[in-house]
């Protein structure tokens, strides 16, 4: 049991690390109002961040493991709102604050944590996470929450595949889960899922999927994403998919071509 709990804690830590917060604000127990010293962390962040390099900021709130789920979701949302208000009061553009989400409590087993007080204090926090501006050119977005036009392509760097594979990685699934939440709130968006490959000889138009030896790797990647979203209750009538093979390389690193992207077909 202790091994399972330790692995769960490691999973939570790794998930948090992958998010890569650019600033974290810690709250006192059961509080969502900040002291002047805590507020200064946010105001300094707003003054020092290079807004020319980011498209938006995401704000996520957390609580420790004490209290009910309902209470802690409310407290984590209040903490997020506190941080947003302070950011905006410093002159930070509210339109750049895209996601505000209270995650509720971070579950731990108190009998498996050596420094319980320290762990709990670190879980009472708000993370600020930067979404970098895309560098792929006109008509290409890096968020489905951007202002979109029909024909725009949305390219998300976390939806990438291993070489020769059409299986979703853990990181890709986490990114797609975020997309599900966005699509559930923006129900008018329809799109085509477009799969791509890298590193294919010029005599071929597509790669071989090592799972089934089909030379339809880009199609299989797009299809995998299509059915993953459908399994999360995104209507199939909103989506289509196709494989683009190696026709549209980004001319950057090879791994970035092992991708899918979303082409907006209706708003």
Predicted confidence (pLDDT) at residue 241 exceeds the cutoff of 90: yes
Q: How confident is the model at residue 134 (pLDDT cuts 50, 70, 90)?
A: low
The pLDDT confidence band at residue 233, using thresholds 50, 70 and 90, is: very high
Tens-digit pLDDT profile for residues 72-119: 888 889 999 999 999 899 888 887 787 677 776 666 555 455 666 667
Tens digit of pLDDT for each residue in 189-223? 999 999 999 888 778 889 999 888 889 999 999 99
Highest mean pLDDT range out of 24-38, 111-125, 135-149, 227-241? 227-241
What average pLDDT score do residues 216-245 get?
93
At residue 16, the pLDDT reads: 35
pLDDT digits (tens, 9 = 90+) for 137-167: 556 676 777 778 888 888 877 888 998 999 9
All structural domains of the chain: 2-132 (3.30.1330.60), 140-266 (3.30.1330.60)
Per the model's pLDDT, the better-predicted residue between 121 and 9 turns out to be 121
- For the stretch 243-266, pLDDT in tens is 999 898 887 778 888 899 999 999
**At 61, is the pLDDT very low, low, confident or very high (cuts 50, 70, 90)?**
confident
DSSP symbols for the chain: -HHHHHHHHHHHHHHHHHH--SEEEE--TT--S--HHHHHHHHHHHHHS-TTSEEEEEEEEEE-S-S-HHHHHHHHHHHHHHHHHHHHHTT--GGGEEEEEEEEE----GGG-SSHHHHHHHHSEEEEEEEEPP-S-TTEES-TTS---TT-EEEEEEEE--TT--SPPHHHHHHHHHHHHHHHH-TT-EEEEEE---S--TT-SS--BTTTTBS-HHHHHHHHHHHHHHHTT--GGGEEEEE-TTSS--SS-GGGGSEEEEEEEE-
Does residue 29 carry a pLDDT above 90?
no
- Least confident range of 32-46, 64-78, 139-153: 139-153
């Amino acid at each position: 049991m202790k091994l399972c709990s330790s692995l769960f804690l490691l999973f939570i830590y790794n998930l948090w690390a992958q998010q890569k917060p650019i600033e974290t604000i810690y709250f006192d127990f059961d509080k969502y109002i900040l002291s002047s010293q805590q507020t200064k962390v946010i105001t300094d962040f707003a003054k020092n961040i290079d807004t020319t390099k980011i498209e938006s900021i995401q704000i996520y709130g957390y609580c420790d493991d004490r209290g009910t789920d309902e209470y802690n979701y409310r407290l984590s949302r209040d903490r997020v709102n506190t941080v947003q208000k302070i950011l905006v009061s410093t002159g930070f553009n509210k339109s750049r604050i895209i996601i505000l989400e209270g995650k509720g409590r971070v579950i731990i087993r108190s009998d498996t944590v050596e420094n319980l007080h320290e762990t709990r204090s670190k879980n009472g926090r708000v993370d600020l996470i930067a979404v970098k501006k895309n560098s792929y050119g006109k008509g290409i977005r890096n968020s489905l929450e951007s202002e979109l036009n029909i024909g725009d392509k949305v390219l998300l760097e976390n939806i990438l595949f291993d070489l020769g594979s059409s299986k979703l990685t853990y990181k890709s699934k986490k990114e797609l889960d975020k997309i599900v939440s966005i699509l559930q709130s923006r129900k008018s968006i329809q799109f085509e899922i477009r799969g791509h490959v890298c590193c294919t000889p010029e005599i071929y138009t597509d790669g071989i999927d090592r799972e089934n030896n089909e030379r339809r790797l880009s199609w299989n990647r797009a299809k995998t994403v299509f059915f993953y979203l459908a399994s999360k209750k995104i209507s199939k009538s909103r989506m289509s998919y196709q494989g683009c093979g190696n026709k549209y390389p980004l001319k950057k690193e090879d791994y970035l071509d092992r991708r899918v992207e979303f082409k907006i077909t209706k708003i």
